[in-house]
Chains A and B, each alone.
Chain A
């Protein structure tokens, strides 16, 4: 696991974790706050993108606001011997936004594959879930889909104890 190599990267994370300043020259604004040049800010952000510490710089829409009101967390009990092959195949489906292997919590929770499906209505999500079921076939011993009925909190990453 990497960590932040130096203080400037850490200060840059803290300065941008709530978002980029919405001004004409955002990297100049960040640089002024951090006491460095805009060239340094752009170079550090580019390096963090290249190393994967930043996945992407851009916008995250509220999926409800875009009409994706149905959000189903589909969960599957998949044969451990085939989880990698099948998890990758499910992750390639275009309607799956996240796909992970997670531990079971027996006896309450037998599922080890989680695939999030977003859609503009429940039927669309259920059609996606049915497609996943076909793909998994006999390697799947059980399934469920948990629809979200309310967003209770959504803030994202916060470091620096702020």
Chain B
């Protein structure tokens, strides 16, 4: 997958992780920064979104500042039920991300709800549907968050 990215793609991904200008023709500014044309960079970003190299392009909201809530949670899923439990958990719109991880607690997901009280409801739904206890790890303090990665 990485081999399909050329130098301009990488330059563009790195530039767009730094921000996107609030001007009428933002692709013109981006094109100047990476030494290309607005048409070319827009076409590249469309392709990078379609192929999944970019999972998002747009504003990254800080959900707590919008009144909502994010909670990291985990389940210890018996191996033979892993696929069935994945389907149940992923079906909930409150589940924003879900990862399989190497531990007895082998399923780790993020619950994101518009109101803080929505978290308890989502946990209750998962526990009822799976019969497994949900371990909830709400954040006490955020020391650092920056998802930028060098392409």
Interface set of A (CB-CB < 8 Å, partner B): 1-4, 13, 16-20, 22-28, 38, 42, 45-46, 48, 51-68, 71, 73, 83-84, 87-88, 90-92, 96-103, 105, 108-109, 112, 114, 118, 144, 146-161
From known contacts A19-B49, A98-B144, A158-B93, infer whether A149 and B65 are also in contact, taking CB-CB under 8 Å: no
In chain B, positions 89-114 with a C-beta closer than 8 Å to chain A are 89-90, 93, 95-103, 105, 107-109, 112, 114
Q: How far is the CA of A66 from the CA of B17 in the complex (A)?
A: 13
Contact of B1 with A65 in the complex, beta carbons under 8 Å: yes
A99 and B143 contact, CB distance less than 8 A: yes
Q: Is the interface of B mostly helix, strand, loop or mixed?
A: mixed
Is B61 a contact of A57 with CB atoms below 8 Å?
A: no
Given known pairs A22-B46, A66-B13, the reply for A59 and B99 (CB within 8 Å) is: no
A98 vs B137: C-alpha distance when bound (angstroms): 14
Task: Given A51-B65, A53-B66, verify A24-B42 contact (CB < 8 Å).
Answer: yes
| Known contacts A53-B61, A98-B144, A102-B139, A149 near B72 by CB under 8 Å | no
Q: Can you list 11 contacts pairing A with B, beta carbon distance less than 8 Å?
A: A13-B59, A27-B22, A59-B20, A66-B149, A90-B143, A105-B135, A108-B105, A153-B89, A153-B95, A155-B96, A158-B96
* Minimum CB–CB distance for A84 against chain B, Å: 7
**Contact between chains at B19 and A152 (CB < 8 Å):** no
CA distance A144 to B20 in the complex (A): 37
A101 contacts across to B, CB distance below 8 A: 139-141, 143
Across-interface contacts of B66 in A (CB, < 8 A): 2-4, 13, 53, 159
B140 and A20 within 8 A (CB):
no
Contact A152 B98 (CB under 8 A): yes
B117 within 8 A of partner (CB) = no
Q: State whether A61 and B144 are in contact (beta carbons under 8 Å apart), knowing that A53-B62, A154-B55, A158-B93 are contacts in the complex.
A: no
B138 at the interface (CB under 8 A from A): yes
B25 touches A24 (CB 8 A): yes
Kindly state the separation between the CA atoms of A83 and B18 in the bound complex, as whole angstroms.
30
Contact A58 B20 (CB under 8 A): yes
B50-70 CB mask vs A (1 if < 8 Å, else 0) is: 011111111111111111100
